[in-house]
Amino acid sequence: MSDRPASPVHRAQADAMRWDGVDVLAYKRDGDAPYRDVTRQILFDDPSLACQLRYFEVAPGGHTTLERHEHAHAVMVALGRGECLVGDRVYAIAERDLVHIPPLTWHQFCAGADAPLGFLCMVNGVRDRPQLPSAEDLDTLSRDPAVARFIAR
C-alpha cells in the first residue's frame, strides 16, 4: 500500500495547512508506538529527490512518539508553538524555527497546552524503522530534570 500522492506542478492551499489532493493521514498505524493527536500529510515524495517532505500537525496537548533512528530529520516549524526533545535537551520552538535531528538521536515534539504545533519535516525516502526507548533509556534520559519533566508530562 502506498500513500504517495500524485505530484502535480501546483497544489493550492485549500484551507490552513491543507492542500488539494493531499490526504490527511494518521501519524502512524494505531498500536505501532505511543503518540497523541498527530496528523501526517505527505507533500512531496519524488524518488528522484530521494526524500520526502511531510507536514505534521500536533493538536494542543498532543505529542509525537519519542524515538530514534539512523536517518535524520530536517524540520521547520510552520504553525503554532511547543517544545521538542533532541538528544539530551528540551527546546522551546515557535513558527519558522529550524530543528535538525541527527542520526540515532532521541527526539519528540510536543504542542503547547493551548496551541497546535505544525511542522515540515524532510526525511529520506528509504529509511530505517524508528526505535522506541527501553525503560533503561528512559531512566538515562530522565537524569536531566528538564528532560524528565518533558517525558513525564
Beta carbons of 78 and 55 less than 8 angstroms apart: yes
Cell numbers 530529520 correspond to 73
Phi–psi pair at 105, nearest 5 degrees: -120, 125
* Contact present, 109 and 82 (Cβ < 8 Å): yes
Contact yes or no for 91/150 (Cβ under 8 A): no
Catalytic residues: 121
Pairing of strands 89-94, 73-86: antiparallel
